[in-house]
Amino acid sequence: EKEIDKYDNQIINESNEDEKRIEIEDQLNKLTQKIEKTINLTLGGLENEGIRNVLINYSKQLEEHLHFDEAVYVIFPIDAFDVLVEVNDNFDKIFTFNYKKNRLYERTISFSNLAGTIVEMIIAQNHEVMLDFTDSVLDIKDIITNTSYKQIGINSLIAVPLFNNKELYGCAIYLSKTNILNNNSLMTNLKVASKFLEGKLINLYYEDNIRTLKTLNNTLGTHLNTGIFYYNLDTKNVILSNKLQEFFGLENRRISLEEFEDFIVPDDKSVRDGIKIKFENVEDYNVEYRVHVDGREYLINEIVYPYISKDGILKFFYGVINILEDAIEIDNEIFKRLTLADFETEFLEILNKAKDLEYKANFLKFRVKMLDEYSANIQVKIYDYVYSKLQKELTPKTYYLDNNEFVAIIEDVDSKTLEKQVKLLLDEFDKGLIENNNHAIFEVKVGVVRFPLDTYNLKEVVEFCNIALDSKERYQPFNEKIHKLYIKKRSISACVSEHITKNQIELLYSPLLHNNDISGYLINYNINGLEDSSNVTTYIDEELLISLERLVFTTLINSFRKPLLNKVYLKLSSKTIMHLVEEKIFSKKDINTYRSIVIIIEDANCMVVEELINYEFGIIINYDSLTSINLETLLNNKFIRGVVLNRELEKTIYDFFKLLNYEIITTKDNLKYNKTKL
């Protein structure tokens, strides 16, 4: 009986061991399968480029699978991640990215905000942390709100440190409103996913460093013969190279912008007003001005570019300062660049000269065209070449305007001699410019107005020149056609101004057809006194255009009584959109209304698109301005709905935008291809 009992117990033990083994194997298989799925989802989420896109897609892929409600990614300032630490001034900044409900919120905080947070715990322990707040007495604060996790409804979390060469550079914090994250299996999966994220972020930061260095080397190397400097828009500090520090006789390479501007000759300080506008508009510039250093006066050339990251964020401005030791001397006078301010001063002097009935002058305005295919660096070279040629070979009184156009004033020269002289110069420009073994081809056009032969009103001169430049001729003197067009512009402007004054305008809803069904309405408007208001915007100046489009927009918003069944499409210029942003006309409380509006932008750029996205407008971009939007934005942005096409719809264009699932807005006359499918 003892043997039988012993044998029975042995069988029972073996059976229990088999059940345990099967149970363990089953658990291992489930864990392995979950980890494999985690890896696959993680790799899918990390396929994107750009830190924001990576973090959003990574979080979207994993949030349901690994049961977290939101995530916070924290990045510390690491020298290895920043080739220009001194410029970016990130010593005491911590970058946080908070993922919540398919959105990513980016904030910068200081180290003082870490006290009492899970990040402080990660830094102290240097390994992952899992916490359940259900019955815990721990009072851990959220790094974003600086409020206890219990107060904001978080019941569990898992935090995983991120390392670069064994140095802690950040952490990933996964949060849940339940205690579901108090789970070792989820901890293992989140550690695996975070390890992949750790490597991807390191690669992105290093790629951005390489891109920064390449951009700086390629751009600055072309212009450099004196020194480099950087300007941080946030701190308003200028960081000079050693060579410039030595030139200005400074003890420190880092100085404030005000200290830097103190070196400028008082008469030339107006140049900085134009530069401030360039800073605000995030544009490159090329200016010349004089500085006083050690009792001597120097003419210097400042060439500056904005550095924009791959994510479309302005990081800083960088550029070169060249001392123009080889300045041109004619009659012992140095020719420096004459600006819009100089032109306005000269214009006032001419108003006084015009009191003499014998006084005559020719006004010539030059415009350089066909530059879109060239880089900003090459464009600057071309503008400089044209301006230098005009100043040396036509007249020293040539003025470089803010819009990269030039005005020349030539007195006491007859029309035939002037035309011959200018056309010889235009022929020279037709030969192009050789720059770094590349042949840049461009076109220069000129509009000519004679005073007082063409007009006694000096204030009309520049407007006549602008109209002349819009003609097809490359050399266009004033004629009767230009005068009629000028009268038409004045008449249309007067009609538009009347609406602006009364703050009233009638909107017209033109149906947009898709397969003969109405898919939306294009917003037009009726201008009193005009039979056709469709081309009004081509006849009014920028300031009036902004006022008109602002009135149309506010009238449209005020007309919304209930959501429309179909979308409405509204044309706005980039200048108007930025005006509406700056004047706070766009309001977050109206986002539900904005979701029914699609903005058509004729002159789109990345900055304008980003502003519209913030308010969830749909966006249609003019086909001809697509090159100003980076490909990543076009492919990955759900708010960009399509393009407007002012030309014949070709098969290749149709197929490409069909692949992107874009709308194509065009007239019926342009539907030469595949009409039945549109």
Mean pLDDT of 398-405: 88
How does DSSP assign 543-580, residue by residue?
Answer: HHHHHHHHHHHHHHHHH-SS--SSEEEEEE-HHHHHHH
pLDDT for residue 536: 85
Mean pLDDT of 638-648: 78
Residue ranges of the chain that CATH labels 3.20.20.450: 491-677
Has residue 325 got a pLDDT over 80?
no
Question: In the chain, count of helices (H) and strands (E)?
Answer: 19, 29
Strand pairing class (167-176; 70-75): antiparallel
Strand pairing class (103-110; 314-323): unpaired
pLDDT for residue 86: 43
- Taking alpha carbons only, the member of 570, 533, 540 closest to residue 555 is 570
Percent of all residues in the chain with a pLDDT value above 90, rounded to a whole number: 15
pLDDT for residue 503: 92
Between CA 340 and CA 402 the distance in angstroms is 7
Q: In which element (H, E) is residue 285 found?
A: strand 285-293
Strand pairing class (443-451; 361-369): antiparallel
Mean pLDDT over the full length of the chain: 79
Contact 226, 321 (CB under 8 A): yes
pLDDT for residue 5: 63
Mean pLDDT of 595-601: 89
pLDDT for residue 20: 62
Between CA 217 and CA 84 the distance in angstroms is 13
Q: Which CATH number fits domain 224-323: 3.40.50.450, 3.40.50.150, 3.30.450.20, 3.40.140.10?
A: 3.30.450.20
Residue 628 pLDDT class (50, 70, 90 cuts): low
Between CA 170 and CA 95 the distance in angstroms is 9
Residue 19 pLDDT class (50, 70, 90 cuts): low
Has residue 578 got a pLDDT over 80?
yes
659-665, long-range: CB within 8 Å, 24+ apart, which pairs?
A: 660/634, 660/635, 663/620, 665/512, 665/522, 665/569, 665/600, 665/620
pLDDT for residue 390: 92
Q: What is the pTM of this model?
A: 0.45
What are the phi and psi torsion angles at 674 (to 5°)? 55, 45
Has residue 444 got a pLDDT over 70?
yes
Has residue 81 got a pLDDT over 50?
no
pLDDT for residue 107: 87
Percent of all residues in the chain with a pLDDT value above 70, rounded to a whole number: 79
What are the phi and psi torsion angles at 512 (to 5°)? -105, 130
Q: What's 274's DSSP letter?
A: H
Strands of the 506-514 sheet, one edge to the other? 506-514, 517-526, 567-572, 597-601, 618-622, 640-644, 663-665
pLDDT for residue 401: 87
Mean pLDDT of 5-19: 62
Q: Is the pLDDT higher at 205 or at 90?
A: 205
Cβ burial, residue 431 (10 Å; 0-12/13-18/19+): exposed
pLDDT in tens, 193-228: 888 888 888 777 766 655 544 444 444 444 444 566
- Taking alpha carbons only, the member of 606, 588, 601 closest to residue 50 is 606
Q: Which CATH class is domain 329-478?
A: alpha beta
Between CA 84 and CA 86 the distance in angstroms is 5
Mean pLDDT is highest, among 28-42, 232-246, 412-426, 596-610, for: 412-426
125: amino acid identity, one letter: Q
Residue ranges of the chain that CATH labels 3.30.70.270: 329-478
Q: Which CATH number fits domain 491-677: 2.60.120.890, 2.40.110.20, 3.30.1300.10, 3.20.20.450?
A: 3.20.20.450
pLDDT for residue 246: 82
Q: Is the pLDDT higher at 129 or at 236?
A: 129
What are the phi and psi torsion angles at 356 (to 5°)? -80, 120
Q: What CATH number is given for 31-208 in this structure?
A: 3.30.450.40
Structure-derived torsion over alpha carbons of residues 189, 195, 196, 200, reported in degrees to the nearest 10: 150
Residue ranges of the chain that CATH labels 3.30.450.40: 31-208
Strand pairing class (285-293; 296-308): antiparallel
Q: Comparing 181-195, 366-380, 401-415, 437-451, which segment has the lowest mean pLDDT? A: 366-380
Has residue 429 got a pLDDT over 80?
yes
Between CA 646 and CA 664 the distance in angstroms is 10
Q: Is the pLDDT higher at 651 or at 178?
A: 178
Residue 446 pLDDT class (50, 70, 90 cuts): very high
- Taking alpha carbons only, the member of 452, 427, 490 closest to residue 363 is 452
- Taking alpha carbons only, the member of 236, 221, 68, 25 closest to residue 159 is 68
- Residue 556 makes CB contacts below 8 A (sequence gap 6+) with 507, 523, 568, 570, 597
Q: Is the pLDDT higher at 272 or at 222?
A: 272
Structure-derived torsion over alpha carbons of residues 139, 143, 147, 150, reported in degrees to the nearest 10: -50
pLDDT in tens, 346-383: 877 877 787 777 788 899 999 998 776 777 778 888 88
What letters, b where the CB count within 10 A reaches 16 and e where it falls short, cover 320-353?
Answer: bbbbbeeeeeeeeeebbbbbbeebeeebeebeee
Q: Is the peptide bond before 266 cis (omega within 30 degrees of 0)?
A: no
Residue 286 pLDDT class (50, 70, 90 cuts): confident
- Residue 88 makes CB contacts below 8 A (sequence gap 6+) with 82, 232, 315, 316
Between CA 503 and CA 552 the distance in angstroms is 10
- CB atoms under 10 Å from CB of 411, counted, come to 13
Q: Is the dihedral of CA 203, 606, 314, 113 positive or negative?
A: negative
Helices (H), 394-517: 415-430, 461-469, 480-502
Mean pLDDT of 488-517: 87
Q: What tokens does 454 get? A: 């063409």
Q: In which element (H, E) is residue 271 found?
A: helix 271-281
pLDDT for residue 476: 93
Inter-CA distances, 403 with 365, 400, 467, 474, 493, Å? 12, 8, 16, 19, 22
